[in-house]
Amino acid sequence: MRVVPGVIPALFLAATGAFAGETTVAVAANAAEVVETLAADFEQQTGHRVTVTVGSTGKLYAQILHGAPFDLFLAADQERPRLLVEQGLAVEDFRRTYAIGRLVLWSPDPGVAVGADTLRDGSFRRLAIANPDLAPYGAAARETLRELGLWESLRPKIVLGENVGQAFAMAASGNAELGFVSLASVLTPRHGRDGSYWEVPEHFHTPIRQDSVLLERARDNPAARDFHEFLNTPVALKTVESFGLVVARGSR
């Protein structure tokens, strides 16, 4: 994981040596690399250790319900963190929107122009999307296709990934010519900027507001609380934006 340069507030510098702790973070696939990047910087600055578990929002939520030992949950929606608060499994005062995701239609071929007309034309074999029942980016892809009046006609060509990372991998590997993926997946330094993409108009789908929340089991875990607060610092917000996510400033 690369380290993001910047100055961390004194609050986080206090957690060194004997005061260093550990925390486990469950993160939706679209934000995996940005959270890994932030975790590395946080570890260096504070001495705390952060373990990151990546998966679809729906699957991680189910694991939390079944007792998975996570301290923080960074979802790709608002619904699951809200439900965890309602179910007494998360702390309301530690729930906020950390980012707003952007959906794109992506081709690994930089010579191919992609857009709504590409979908209407239908001259492709496979279209990869995340599972709409598990992943908010998949739900947004389904809403987009319905908005275009193409959901039913293109369903035979759709291949599902468990999460948006798997949808990206299927398109990148050639198993699908196109994929509805996150802008963060396309812009990440890990994948570079190869290929071509179309940013789906925001009014085509429900906004992908992504909430983070501290889980009740970690209420008294300083490392978990500090990392959650660190995510809202200027240096962290700048890093989030660099990965193609929109910062929801002033949002809970």
Say whether 103-199 and 10-101+208-242 share the same fold: yes
Query: Rounded distance, CA 93 to CA 105, Å?
Result: 36
Please tell me the predicted confidence (pLDDT) of residue 192: 57
Give pTM, 2 decimals: 0.81
Please tell me the predicted confidence (pLDDT) of residue 250: 52
Please tell me the predicted confidence (pLDDT) of residue 186: 87
Residue 224 near residue 218, CB atoms below 8 Å: yes
Query: Rounded distance, CA 152 to CA 202, Å?
Result: 21
Please tell me the predicted confidence (pLDDT) of residue 187: 82
Domain borders along the chain are: 10-101+208-242, 103-199
Q: Which residue has the tokens 């699951």?
A: 80
Please tell me the predicted confidence (pLDDT) of residue 19: 64
Distance of CA 205 to the CA centre of its chain: 17
Please tell me the predicted confidence (pLDDT) of residue 184: 86
Please tell me the predicted confidence (pLDDT) of residue 79: 95
pLDDT along the chain (252 residues), means of 10: 39 52 94 93 95 94 97 96 98 95 94 93 95 93 98 97 92 94 83 82 95 97 96 93 79 48
Cα torsion angle, 42, 30, 55, 189, sign:
negative
Distance of CA 44 to the CA centre of its chain: 23
Domain 103-199 of CATH type 3.40.50.1980:
no
| CATH class given for the domain over 10-101+208-242 | alpha beta
